[in-house]
């Protein structure tokens, strides 16, 4: 099979490898499409000490099962499935015993602890699989296994109700989906972005208001709207997240799903004054992914992608990393 592997931090190489055989508790998937995510940077650029190189990145992919391990009974050859960041769980640690599989102490990360979807074939543990309906486009469905799942899951677990004011900071791979989820779930939505380049797209995606953070103070703009109940921070930029905190209304919450490299400065006095809070959210389980895909199908959520051949996976990653993609790069093996 063809695969794009990272031989060391920063080094991509298109190679031919033997098609992998699934272990007893795994399946093998013929990959149809794999999204390119900023989280791939842990492998592509280094920073994760436990990565064994060479490694095939990619943690949001869709395809068909073409082989199953001897102990796998719940999946069969021909099933259409997807795999996200969550590469499995141990079932026995304290978080697993509490049903918090996404917090498993032993979970492998797809495309980091094990090879991912920048390849024609990939193996996955049975408990890491999400069922994907027939008829959906692979290229626009693959990003829902991470970008969609993370933003949808964070939104539906936040302490907000339909009609509340929700601000999405950053209109990129996660943000363009988050705007649609918030709008379709009945929230009054605000898009916060640098410059006006994405204004029309944000309004098309369901934003009722647009804040250009280069032209106005986001906190003042959000306060003028009455104060937001939720800031969903999808941009991995600490200054963009910090700039929105003072725009929280009473009992407002900032939930970060984009992870900046720099610490986010938080004025505790501001949170105290509004009884506000700041938290993070980690993606979700395969069951959550299935909910994300189902909601998107019911509400006609549009995933905007640019596709690349597997041989151009490095170019796809670089375009994503520089922000040149609108709005999700997808590799087609």
Dump pLDDT digits (tens) for 3-40.
Answer: 999 998 889 999 999 999 999 999 999 999 999 999 99
Contact 208, 190 (CB under 8 A): yes
- pTM for this one? 0.96
DSSP 281: -
- Of 141, 129, 35, nearest to 81 by C-alpha is 129
pLDDT at position 50: 81
pLDDT at 231 over 90: yes
DSSP character string of 149-182: HHHHHHHHHSS--TTSEEEEE--STTHHHHHHHH
> Rounded to whole angstroms, how far apart are CA atoms 222 and 241?
13
- Of 281, 292, 286, 4, nearest to 125 by C-alpha is 286
Average pLDDT over residues 311-318: 97
pLDDT at position 9: 86
Q: For residue 312, name the pLDDT band (cuts at 50, 70, 90).
A: very high
Average pLDDT over residues 258-281: 93
pLDDT at position 49: 74
pLDDT at position 261: 86
DSSP 312: G
């Amino acid at each position: 099979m063809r695969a794009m592997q990272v031989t060391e931090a920063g080094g991509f190489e298109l190679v031919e490898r033997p098609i992998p055989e699934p272990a007893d508790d795994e399946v093998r998937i013929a990959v149809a499409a794999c999204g390119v995510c900023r989280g791939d940077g842990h492998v592509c650029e280094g920073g994760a000490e436990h990565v064994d190189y060479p490694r095939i990145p990619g943690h949001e992919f869709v395809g068909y099962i073409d082989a199953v391990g001897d102990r796998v009974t719940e999946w069969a050859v021909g099933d259409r499935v997807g795999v996200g960041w969550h590469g499995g769980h141990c079932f026995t640690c304290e978080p697993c015993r509490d049903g918090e599989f996404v917090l498993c102490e032993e979970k492998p990360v797809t495309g980091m602890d094990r090879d991912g979807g920048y390849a024609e074939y990939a193996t996955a543990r049975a408990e890491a699989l999400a069922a994907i309906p027939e008829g959906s486009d692979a290229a626009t469905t693959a990003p829902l296994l991470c970008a969609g799942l993370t933003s949808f899951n964070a939104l539906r677990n936040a302490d907000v109700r339909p009609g509340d004011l929700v601000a999405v900071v950053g209109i990129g791979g996660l943000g363009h989906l988050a705007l649609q989820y918030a709008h379709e779930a009945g929230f009054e939505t605000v898009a916060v972005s640098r410059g006006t380049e994405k204004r029309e797209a944000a309004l098309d995606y369901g934003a009722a208001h647009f804040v250009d953070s280069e032209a106005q103070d986001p906190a003042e703009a959000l306060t003028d709207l009455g104060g937001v109940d939720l800031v969903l921070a999808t941009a991995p930029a600490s200054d963009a997240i910090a700039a929105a905190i003072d725009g929280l209304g009473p009992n407002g919450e900032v939930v970060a799903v984009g992870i900046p490299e720099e610490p986010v400065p938080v004025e505790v006095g501001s949170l105290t004054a509004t009884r506000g809070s700041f938290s993070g959210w980690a993606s979700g389980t395969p069951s959550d992914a299935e909910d994300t895909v189902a909601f998107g199908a019911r509400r006609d959520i549009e995933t905007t992608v640019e596709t690349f051949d597997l041989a151009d996976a490095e170019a796809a990653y670089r375009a994503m990393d520089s922000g040149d993609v609108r709005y999700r790069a997808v590799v087609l093996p």
